[in-house]
Amino acid sequence: MGRTIQITTRTTDLGAVTDHLNLRKKNLQAVTDNLGQRTTHLGAVTENLNQRTTKLGAVTEHLSQRTTHLGAVTEHLSQRTTHLGSIIDNLSQRTTNLGRVTEHLIQRTTHLYRASNNLREQHIFTEHLIILIKKQNNLGGVTDRLSENIKPFKSHHGIITVTLEE
C-alpha cells in the first residue's frame, strides 16, 4: 500500500505540475498575443513613420525647389538692380548733359542779349547821326562835304550804311 499512496501523491503532484504548465502555457500564449499586438502596433507605427518620412522627403524636395526658385528670383532682382543702376547712371549723364546744354543756352542768350543791346545802341547812334545830317542839310552846302567825309561804320553783324535824305 505504500506504493499506491506514493503513486497517488505523484499523480497529484503531476496534475499540479500539469496545471502549472497549462497556466504557464496560457500566460505564454497571452504574452505571445500581447507581443503579436505590439508587433502589429509597431508595424503600424513603422508604416506611419514611413509615410511621415515620405512626406518629409516631399516637403524637403518642395523646399529645395522653392530655395532654387528663390535663388533665381534673387539673381533676377540682382540683374534688375544692376539694370536700374545703369539707367540711373545714364539719367545722371543725361542730366549732366542737359545742365551743360542749359549752361550753353544761357551763355548764348546772354550773348544775344548783349548783341541786341549793341544793335539798339547802334540804331540810336544811327538815328542821331541822321538827325545831325538833316540839320546840316538845312545849313546848305555843308551837307555835300559831310557826306563825302562820312565813312560807313562796322559792327559784328555787318556794315550799317547811312543814306542822306534831301
**What would the DSSP string read from start to end of 110-139?**
HHHHHHHHHHHHHHHHHHHHHHHHHHHHHH
Q: Is 30 inside any structural domain?
A: yes
Q: What is the pLDDT of residue 131?
A: 82
The pLDDT value recorded for residue 63 is 96
Is there a domain that residue 49 lies in? yes
- What's the rounded Cα separation, in Å, for the pair 89 and 111? 33
Q: Is there a domain that residue 101 lies in? A: yes
Tell whether 7 is covered by a domain. yes
pLDDT given for residue 147 in this prediction: 55
pLDDT score recorded for residue 132:
77
On whether residue 136 sits in a domain, the answer given is no
Q: Which three cell numbers stand for residue 99?
A: 545742365
Other beta carbons within 10 Å of 135: 11
Amino acid residing at 141: G
Burial class (CB in 10 A: 0-12, 13-18, 19+), 137: middle
Structural domain of 86: 2-115
Whether residue 166 contacts residue 158, with contact meaning beta carbons closer than 8 Å, is answered with no
What are the 10-residue block averages of pLDDT along the chain, 166 residues in total?
60 84 95 95 96 96 96 96 95 95 94 90 84 68 54 50 50
Q: Report yes or no on 31 lying in a domain.
A: yes
Query: What pLDDT sits at residue 155?
Result: 46
Q: Assess contact for 94 and 135: CB atoms under 8 A.
A: no
In a domain, residue 147? The reply is no
In this prediction, residue 158 carries a pLDDT of 54
Burial class (CB in 10 A: 0-12, 13-18, 19+), 47: exposed
DSSP letter, residue 16: H
Q: Which residue has the cell 505590439?
A: 38
By the 10 Å C-beta count (0-12 exposed, 13-18 middle, 19+ buried), 165 is classed as exposed
Domain count, the chain: 1
Residue 159: strand pairing partners? 154
0.85 cut: is pTM over it? no
139 in a domain, yes or no? no
